[in-house]
Amino acid sequence: MTAPSLKPLSSALQPHIRSVARLPVRLADGREASSTIHSFNGLADGKEHVALRFGDHDADAPLVRVHSECLTGDALGSARCDCGPQLEESLRRLDEEGGYLLYLRQEGRGIGLYAKLDAYRLQEQGYDTYAANRALGHADDERDYTVAAEMLRAMGVSRITLLTNNPDKKAQLEALGIEVVGVRPTGVFQGTHNLPYLEAKVRHTHHTIDLPGRRRDD
């Protein structure tokens, strides 16, 4: 029996932009930035991820921030993490330089909101953020950046300068065919409540966070 030949996906089934709209953005300092917000069809996980584009010029390797959703940090001002300040910083830098913010619906490093809140309870009992995930039956980090690569390609972007302190983002995007020509670190947003969280990110997943009092080779 002859195996059927495989046909390439039609362009309608490939990940593609479904809509673009203007989105004025209020920055943390009160200024207003201009952006366009893009939605997509055909992404691998079927979720409603969005991209914001800042600036009108087409850079060879635009600045890109891949930001995973954090309801508690981004919207509610939680001091347990650095997600909110990272998002604010990213919006400011993208307004200044142009580029893209990819906002991915991967709450709690991919485990979901309620599981993240369960992990908070375990952290109050002495677990760090990664040990809490494992105690709940999850991996340290369950995020998959396939959709980020799909979104970039749908917008015609294949070479980027990545804004991150997470080496896994660079590694995954490169494995998915996105050329990362440079990496710029995010700022260090250390506070009373998030220091254990930041230390755990450095210790477990080698984030490039220069914490005061910590040697580079710790």
172 assigned to a ligand binding site: no
Q: Choose, from 118, 143, 214, 216, the residue flagged as catalytic.
A: 143
108 assigned to a ligand binding site: yes
Q: How many CB atoms lie within 10 A of CB 162?
A: 21
81 assigned to a ligand binding site: yes
129 assigned to a ligand binding site: yes
Check residue 130 and give left, alpha or beta (phi > 0: left; psi -120 to 50: alpha). alpha
69 assigned to a ligand binding site: yes
Q: Choose, from 29, 141, 153, 218, the residue flagged as catalytic.
A: 141
Most distant CA atoms of the chain, gap in Å? 68
206 assigned to a ligand binding site: no
Is there a contact between 202 and 180 (Cβ–Cβ < 8 Å)? no
The dihedral through the CA atoms of 143, 147, 177, 3 has a sign that is positive
Cα–Cα distance for residue pair 65/35, rounded to 1 Å? 14
201 assigned to a ligand binding site: no
The SS3 of residue 84 is helix
Clarify whether 143 is annotated catalytic: yes
Clarify whether 141 is annotated catalytic: yes
Pick from 162, 168, 175: nearest CA to 205:
168
70 assigned to a ligand binding site: yes
164 assigned to a ligand binding site: yes
> If residue 202 lies in a helix (H) or strand (E), which one and from where to where?
helix 195-205
Alpha helices in 108-194 (DSSP H): 113-123, 129-135, 146-154, 167-175
Cα–Cα distance for residue pair 121/148, rounded to 1 Å? 31
42 assigned to a ligand binding site: no
83 assigned to a ligand binding site: yes
80 assigned to a ligand binding site: no
107 assigned to a ligand binding site: yes
Per the annotation, binding residues for Zn(2+) are 70, 81, 83
**Could you list the active site residues?**
141, 143
Q: Residues at the annotated binding site?
A: 65-70, 81, 83, 86, 107-109, 129, 164, 169
What are the binding residues for GTP? 65-69, 86, 107-109, 129, 164, 169
